[in-house]
Chain A
Amino acid sequence: MMLGNCATSSSLSTESDEDIVNNNLTVLVVDDSPMIRKLHDMHLKKFGLKVQVAENGKNAVDLFRSGASFNLILMDKEMPIMDGAEVTKELRTMGVTSMIVGVTSLDSIFDRQAFMEAGLDHCFTKPLTTENIIFLLQELNKKNNEEN
């Protein structure tokens, strides 16, 4: 288990991938591509995360409206009906404080900046890497420690 500021559980002097396998964190993957949803699902489950998928932004918003909550949301940008920036703004307006991370193939810095300004905590370029996931888990653990 990853140690943030909290010195409980078995202490390890160096962090390894195994240290941050986490059985408590939930993730919502929002992407209109079945291939990307499958990839992220598999990759995140390797780290012990509980994954749910939404195939568009409207489904993601409806999930939150029905009372669902997640520690982390991975958000694609280009989606039909509501794009990732619109969904992010809507979720933040609804009071969602989960970590929202953009995962996009947007090239332009201007477009990425606009996506960040919609309310993202971080934005990564596709494809999501193991290093990205490790970073996010570390950030989530920090966030949990600050909130407790």
Chain B
Amino acid sequence: MDVVNQLQRQFLDYSASLHREGFLDDQFTQLQKLQDENSPDFVVEVASLFFEDCEKLINNMARALEQQGVDFKQVDASVHQLKGSSSSIGAMRVKNVCIAFRSFCEAQNREGCLRCLQQVTHEYSLLKNKLQTLFRLEQQILAAGGSVPAIE
């Protein structure tokens, strides 16, 4: 049981740090509350779909910004979609970059957009690693015969 307690404590501390550092907001906690024994992989599945979305949208933005005559409406459409996805999963830092990104699209500022693209790529990679760590901790708890503690 010591191992389980230790892992559970690690999980809770790690989860708290993700919220404290702004990677996740309360929306992610709401997703965790939706998960149940009938859908035990719900959060992992939603996160996978989010990562797929991010990669597709970031590629779209990069391609659009590479063009001679940048279509800022097209870039904005992808940023808008990413903002919607990120707020729906609780990816706060990604969402916040999208908000700034949209301002640069509106101003048709290519340099500003490119900086935001770099930032959003960075935030997405960071979040992906951190969520993968969180999910690994969950698996370790379950493999040790424990249950994943609920986040309040």
Do A and B bind? yes
Question: Which residues of A does B touch, CB under 8 Å?
Answer: 33-36, 38-39, 42-43, 46, 78, 104-105, 107, 126-127, 129-130
Per DSSP, are chain B's interface residues mostly helix, strand or loop, or mixed? helix
Shortest Cβ gap from A42 to chain B (Å): 5
Known: A35-B53, A78-B80. A126 touches B87 (CB 8 A): yes
Q: A124 CB to closest chain B CB, in angstroms?
A: 12
Q: Does B81 contact A (CB under 8 A)?
A: yes
Contact A35 B87 (CB under 8 A): no
Find out whether the CB atom of B46 lies under 8 angstroms from the CB atom of A39: yes
A99 to B17 alpha-carbon distance, docked (Å): 41
B84: interface (CB < 8 Å)? yes
Number of residues on chain B facing chain A (CB within 8 A): 22
Q: Are B88 and A126 interface neighbours, CB within 8 A?
A: yes
Cβ contact within 8 Å between A127 and B34: no
- Number of CB contacts from chain A to chain B under 8 A: 50
A130 to B49, CA, bound (A): 22
Q: Could you give 26 example pairs across A and B, Cβ below 8 Å?
A: A33-B49, A34-B53, A35-B46, A35-B85, A35-B88, A35-B89, A36-B84, A38-B46, A39-B88, A39-B89, A42-B34, A42-B39, A78-B84, A104-B84, A105-B80, A105-B81, A105-B83, A105-B84, A126-B84, A126-B87, A126-B88, A127-B27, A127-B30, A127-B87, A127-B88, A130-B30
Question: By the criterion CB–CB under 8 Å, are B34 and A36 in contact?
Answer: no
Interface residue ranges of B94-136 to A (CB < 8 Å): 102
- B81 and A78: CB pair below 8 A? yes
**CB of A113, distance to nearest CB on chain B (Å):** 17
- Which residues of A have CB within 8 Å of B49? 33-35, 38
Measured CA separation A105–B50 after assembly (Å): 16
**Contact: B85 with A33, CB < 8 Å?**
yes
Q: Are B34 and A33 closer than 8 Å at their CB atoms?
A: no
**Which chain A positions have C-beta within 8 A of B102?**
107
Closest 4 A/B residue pairs (Cβ) = A105-B84, A35-B49, A127-B88, A126-B84
Partner of B50, one of A35, A78, A104: A35
A46 to B50, CA, bound (A): 21
| CB of B52, distance to nearest CB on chain A (Å) | 8
* Nearest chain A CB to B47 CB, angstrom units: 9
In the docked arrangement, what's the CA distance between A34 and B88, Å? 12
The CA of A127 and the CA of B87, in the complex, are separated in Å by 6
Query: Which B46-63 residues have a C-beta within 8 angstroms of A?
Result: 46, 49-50, 52-53
